[in-house]
C-alpha cells in the first residue's frame, strides 16, 4: 500500500476505483460495497484491486453466477441429506449467520454422491445466498452489510475428514479470489485433539487477514456466541433461544405438547449409505462419471495429484456398458528435483491384488519423464490403485481407435486423495 492510498478515505478510493472501470467493467453486481471489499482485500492498492475485480467479473459472467440462485445446483438435495448445515438468522451487526456441523460430515459417503465439482458449485450457491441476505440486511438497517458470520462445530472430527481436504483447498481458493472480505467472523467449536493436525494443513490456504477473523472457542461457547448473536437467532443446541425446530407431538394420553429439537439437526446417514449403488456394483456408484468414446477415437482423462510435496493415493475403476476398450495409464512425474533417489524395495508388498507399487518405478521417477504405469490392454472393466509418495499426475487413456463401427459408453471413477502417512 503506497503513501497515497494510505491517505485516501474509503470514499475517495471508491471514486478513483470507479474512474478506472471501462464500460465493459461496469456491472450491477459491482456496487460501492463490492468495490470496497476488493479494495480492502488488496489493501487499497488500486491496480491490484482492479485486476482482482475484473478477473472475478469475468468468472461470474462465464459461469453465470448471477443466475445460480434461480437455478440451484442439481445435487443440492443430496447435499442436504449428507451435510448438516443451515443459514440461521443474523448477528447483532446484521450479518447473516451460517452454521455447519463439519465434524459430522462423513466424506467417504459424501464423495460417493457428490464430486468435488458438485461440492464447489453448492458452496458458491451458499455464498451467493449469504450475499443476498447481506444486501437485504443493508437495505433494512441503512448501513453497509457485506459479510457473514460462520459457526463451525468440529465435534466428531476424525481422520476420515482428510478425504475432504481437496474440497476445502478449492473452497479457500474460490473464497479468496471471488468472495474477498465476505467473512466477518468464524467461530470454531468443539475442536478435538486432531484439530491442530488439520489446521496445520489448511492454514496455508487461508489468507492472513482471514486467519485473524477465526476464533477457536475452547469453553463457554454459549457465552461467546451470545455476545455476537442475539439469543433468538442462536440455535437452541448452542445456547440460544431459537425455537425454529419445535415439533408438536401427542403424548400417551393424546394431549399435544411441544418437543424441542435441534435447529441444525444431526443427520442420520444410514439410509444414504444403504442406498449407495456402490454396494451392489463396484463400478456403478453415484460418484462415477459417464464418458462416451466415439468409434475410431480416443479419450484421455487427467487426474492431478493432491499433495505437491508428499504425493497422493490414486484409485480407479471403470466398466464399459458394451464390449471392450483399450485401457492404459501413463504417469506424469512432478517437475521437481528429488532430494534423494527413489529406492526399489524388493520386499514391498501391495495391499491388494489391484495395487501398483511405486517402488517398482524408481528409475522412471528419477528421470522425471512420462512413463507407462500400465501397458495398454483391451478389457471391459478394470480397477486398481497407485500409492505414490512422489508427486505425480496420472493420465487415463480409453482408446477406441481400433473400432471403426462401435462407440463405447464408459462409467468411471478416477480419484486422487491424500496419501496416508
Question: What are 170-178's contacts with CB under 8 Å, separation 24+?
Answer: 170/116, 170/120, 171/120, 171/123, 172/202, 172/205, 172/206, 173/205, 174/120, 174/123, 174/124, 174/127, 175/127, 175/210, 176/207, 176/210, 177/52, 177/55, 177/56, 177/59, 178/56, 178/59, 178/60
State how far the Cα of 291 lies from the Cα of 410, in Å rounded to an integer: 5
CA count, 13 A, side-chain hemisphere, 383? 11
390, three cell numbers: 512422489
CB 165 within 8 Å of CB 171: no
pLDDT at position 194 over 50: yes
pLDDT of res. 418: 80
User: What is d(CA 118, CA 124) in angstroms, rounded to the nearest whole number?
Assistant: 10
Question: 345 pLDDT exceeds 60?
Answer: no
Task: Give the model confidence (pLDDT) of 10-19 as tens digits.
Answer: 999 999 999 9
Coil, helix or strand at residue 372: strand
When pLDDT is averaged across residues 240-257 and rounded to a whole number, the result is 65
Residue 232: pLDDT band (50, 70, 90) is very high
Judge residue 404's burial from the number of C-beta atoms within 10 Å of its C-beta, 0-12 exposed, 13-18 middle, 19 or more buried.
exposed
- Assess whether pLDDT exceeds 50 at residue 3: no
Q: Phi first, then psi: give them for residue 417, nearest 5 degrees.
A: -130, 170
Q: Report which of 233, 413, 407, 249 is spatially closest to residue 325, judged by C-alpha positions.
A: 407
CB contact at 8 A, 182 and 149: no
% of the chain beyond a pLDDT of 90: 62
Flag whether pLDDT at 92 surpasses 90.
yes
Q: Where are the beta strands (DSSP E) in 11-108?
A: 85-90, 96-100
Radius of gyration of the chain (CA): 25
- Per CATH, the number for 18-63 is 1.10.8
Amino acid 265: pLDDT: 86
Report the C-alpha gap between 366 and 348 in whole angstroms.
19
Highest mean pLDDT among 170-184, 337-351, 405-419: 170-184
Closest-CA residue to 278 (of 84, 109, 87):
109
Q: Which residues of 268-295 are buried (b: 16+ CB within 10 A; e: fewer)?
A: ebeebeeeeebeeeebebbbbeebebee
pLDDT digits (tens, 9 = 90+) for 93-109: 999 999 999 999 999 88
Nearest to 67 by CA among 113, 146, 124: 124
DSSP-assigned letters across all residues of 34-59: HHHHHHHHTTT-HHHHHHHHHHHHHH
Could you name the CATH architecture of 289-335+362-418?
Sandwich (2.60)
Average pLDDT over residues 380-395: 90
Across all residues in the chain, what is the average pLDDT? 87
Per-residue pLDDT at 347 exceeds 80: no
Query: Are residues 147 and 134 in contact, defined by beta-carbon separation less than 8 angstroms?
Result: yes
Amino acid 281: pLDDT: 52
Per-domain residue ranges of the chain: 18-63, 73-238, 289-335+362-418
Phi, psi of 198 (to 5 degrees): -70, -40
Where is average pLDDT lowest: 37-41, 298-302, 374-378, 411-415?
411-415
User: Residue 272's Cα: distance from chain center in Å?
Assistant: 20
Mean pLDDT of 155-167: 92
Residues 6+ apart with CB under 8 A from 393: 302, 303, 304, 305, 331, 332, 334
Residue 342 backbone class (left: φ over 0; alpha: ψ -120 to 50; beta: rest): beta
The class that CATH gives domain 73-238 is: alpha beta
Residue 245 CA to residue 247 CA, distance in Å, equals: 6
**pLDDT over 70 percentage in the chain:** 86
pLDDT exceeds cutoff 70 at 416: yes
Query: Three cell numbers at 186?
Result: 468464524
pLDDT at 74 over 80: yes
Among candidates 237, 293, 291, which has minimal Cα distance to 101?
A: 237
Q: How confident is residue 61, by pLDDT bands cut at 50, 70 and 90?
A: very high
Round to whole Å and give the CA distance between 290 and 272: 22
Q: Which of 292, 301, 294 is nearest to 401 (CA)?
A: 294
Q: What is the pLDDT of residues 356-383, one digit of tens each?
A: 988 889 888 888 899 999 999 999 889 9
Predicted confidence (pLDDT) at residue 159 exceeds the cutoff of 70: yes
pLDDT digits (tens, 9 = 90+) for 271-327: 787 666 444 455 555 667 889 999 899 999 999 988 777 788 999 999 887 678 999
Q: Is 82 exposed, middle or buried (0-12, 13-18, 19+ CB in 10 A)?
A: buried
CB 130 within 8 A of CB 148: yes
pLDDT of residue 285: 59
**pLDDT at residue 280 in the model:** 46
Amino acid at each position: 500500500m503506497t503513501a497515497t492510498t494510505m491517505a485516501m478515505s474509503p470514499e475517495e478510493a471508491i471514486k478513483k476505483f470507479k474512474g478506472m472501470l471501462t464500460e465493459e467493467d461496469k456491472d450491477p453486481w459491482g456496487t460501492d460495497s463490492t468495490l470496497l471489499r476488493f479494495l480492502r482485500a488488496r489493501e487499497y492498492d488500486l491496480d491490484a484491486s482492479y485486476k482482482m475485480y475484473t478477473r472475478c467479473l469475468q468468472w461470474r459472467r462465464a459461469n453465470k453466477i448471477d443466475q445460480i440462485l434461480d437455478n440451484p445446483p442439481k445435487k443440492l438435495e443430496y447435499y442436504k441429506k449428507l451435510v448438516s448445515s443451515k443459514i440461521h438468522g443474523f448477528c447483532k451487526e446484521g450479518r447473516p449467520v451460517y452454521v455447519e456441523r463439519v465434524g459430522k460430515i462423513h466424506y467417504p459417503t459424501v464423495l460417493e454422491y457428490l464430486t468435488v465439482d458438485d461440492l464447489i458449485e453448492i458452496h458458491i450457491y451458499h455464498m451467493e445466498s449469504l450475499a443476498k441476505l447481506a444486501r437485504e440486511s443493508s437495505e433494512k438497517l441503512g448501513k453497509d452489510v457485506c459479510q457473514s458470520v460462520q459457526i463451525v462445530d468440529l465435534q466428531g472430527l476424525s481422520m476420515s475428514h482428510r478425504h475432504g481436504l481437496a474440497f476445502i483447498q478449492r473452497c479457500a481458493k474460490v473464497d479468496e479470489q471471488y468472495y474477498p472480505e465476505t467473512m466477518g467472523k468464524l467461530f470454531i467449536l468443539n475442536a478435538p485433539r486432531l484439530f491442530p493436525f488439520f489446521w496445520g494443513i489448511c492454514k496455508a490456504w487461508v489468507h492472513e487477514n482471514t486467519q485473524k477473523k477465526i476464533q477457536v472457542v475452547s469453553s463457554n461457547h454459549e457465552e461467546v456466541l451470545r455476545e455476537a448473536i442475539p439469543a433468538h437467532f442462536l440455535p437452541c443446541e448452542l445456547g440460544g433461544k431459537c425455537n425454529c425446530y419445535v415439533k408438536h407431538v401427542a403424548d400417551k394420553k393424546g394431549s399435544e405438547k411441544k418437543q424441542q429439537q435441534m435447529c441444525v439437526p444431526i443427520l442420520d446417514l444410514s439410509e444414504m449409505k444403504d442406498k449407495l449403488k456402490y454396494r451392489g456394483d463396484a463400478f456403478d456408484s453415484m460418484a462415477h462419471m459417464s464418458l462416451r468414446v466415439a468409434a475410431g477415437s480416443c479419450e484421455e482423462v487427467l487426474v492431478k495429484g493432491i499433495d505437491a510435496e508428499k504425493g497422493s493415493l490414486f484409485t480407479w475403476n471403470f466398466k464399459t456398458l458394451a464390449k471392450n476398450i483399450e485401457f492404459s495409464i501413463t504417469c506424469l512425474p512432478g517437475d521437481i528435483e528429488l532430494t534423494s533417489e527413489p529406492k526399489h524395495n524388493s520386499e514391498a508388498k501391495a495391499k491388494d491384488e489391484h495395487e501398483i507399487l511405486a517402488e517398482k518405478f524408481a528409475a522412471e521417477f528419477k528421470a522425471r519423464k512420462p512413463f507407462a504405469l500400465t501397458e495398454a490392454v483391451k478389457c471391459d472393466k478394470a480397477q486398481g490403485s497407485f500409492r505414490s509418495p512422489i508427486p505425480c499426475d496420472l493420465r487415463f487413456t480409453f482408446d477406441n481407435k481400433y473400432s471403426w463401427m462401435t462407440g463405447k459408453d464408459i462409467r468411471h471413477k478416477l480419484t486422487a486423495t491424500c496419501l496416508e502417512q
